[in-house]
Structure formats: C-alpha cells, structure tokens
Amino acid sequence: MQVEAPLRLDRQLEIEEDLEFQQREWHAQRVAWIGLALLAISAVFGLFGTGPLSDSIVGTDGLELRYERFGRFERLTRLRFELGGEGHETTRLSIGRAYLDAVQIEHITPAPAKVEARPDRLVYEFPRQGPAAITFYVKPDTFGLISGEAQVEHAAPLTFKQFIYP
C-alpha cells in the first residue's frame, strides 16, 4: 500500500521525516509478525521441546528409549527406558560417560539398587520382574548437540541425540 507523497511541509515544522525508511520499517514489521507467529506455532508443535516434533523413540524390543529430541538448558527432561522380555532378575543398564558429563541426573525412578562406575560408563542395576520402565530425569548442563549411548546386557546398544537450546 502506497502512502501519500512526502508532504511539502511549511518551514514551521522542523521534522526529519523519512518516508522511504518508514515504508521499509512497516514492511519489515509485517514480515516479522509472521515470523513471530510461526515461531510460536512451531513451539506449540515442539520445535523447542515438549511436543510431537520433539518426542522420539529409539531401540528394539529388548530396550526401547523414549526421549525428547529438543531440550533446553537446565530444564528437566525425561529418558524413559522400556525393558521388554522376561527378565526376572537384575537388569544392568549402562549409560555412556559422554552423556552423563553433559547432563545432571536429578533422579531415577525406580532408584537403582546399585551404581557401578566404569571408565567410560556408569552401570545401574535394577531388580525387576517382567517388562519394566525406568525413567531418568535429567537436566542438561550444556547446550548444543549432545549424544548419548545406552545398553542393557543381551540387547543391542542404542544411541540417541538431543539438541539443547541455551
């Protein structure tokens, strides 16, 4: 939409109008409003965590992990390990050191019976009967891309990546 031509102001009003700049500003604003709306909509769908775009699953029948692809700095996120099969004894779930260095584990449900430190990983022991779910609540301590690796005995190891917003 075109605006009236620059006014021929009389000398009385000393003002620095800049219609060309003003037009560009209005245009930029309108583009930006669309951008802001898209940002909010994508946030609703989980681009910044908690939403369908963010929910992910990896793994096989033996060990399946549900996690969030997008996380935020110092904001709690969940890793839910689902253990299949007919385990009736102790399950040993190990998580790689690299991931544990990038996050802070707030709590684990159920609490592990024992934790063993190895050079490159921590091994958590959980007594269980039948299929079970173990949830780690973690807070990322860094931002950017972090990747994790988890494994239970007799199942293929799985890896997952999370992008943590600052």
Residues that bind other proteins (CB under 8 A): 1-4, 7, 9, 13, 15-18, 21-22, 25-26, 28-29, 32-33, 36, 74, 166
Q: Would you say 155 and 137 are in contact if contact means Cβ atoms under 8 Å apart?
A: no
Give the shortest CB-142-to-other proteins separation in angstroms: 12
Task: Decide whether 22 or 42 has the Cβ nearer to other proteins.
Answer: 22
Task: Decide whether 29 or 129 has the Cβ nearer to other proteins.
Answer: 29
Task: Decide whether 8 or 118 has the Cβ nearer to other proteins.
Answer: 8
Written as one letter, the residue type at 109 is T
Give the shortest CB-140-to-other proteins separation in angstroms: 13
Task: Decide whether 5 or 86 has the Cβ nearer to other proteins.
Answer: 5
Give the shortest CB-74-to-other proteins separation in angstroms: 7
Task: Decide whether 36 or 98 has the Cβ nearer to other proteins.
Answer: 36
Query: Could you give the CA distance from residue 156 to residue 148 in angstroms, rounded to a whole number?
Result: 14
> What is the DSSP code string of 93-156?
EEEEHHHHHHEEEEEEESPPSEEEEETTEEEEEEE-SSSEEEEEEEEESS-EEEEEEEEETTS-
Give the shortest CB-137-to-other proteins separation in angstroms: 16
Query: Could you give the CA distance from residue 153 to residue 91 in angstroms, rounded to a whole number?
Result: 8
Give the shortest CB-109-to-other proteins separation in angstroms: 23
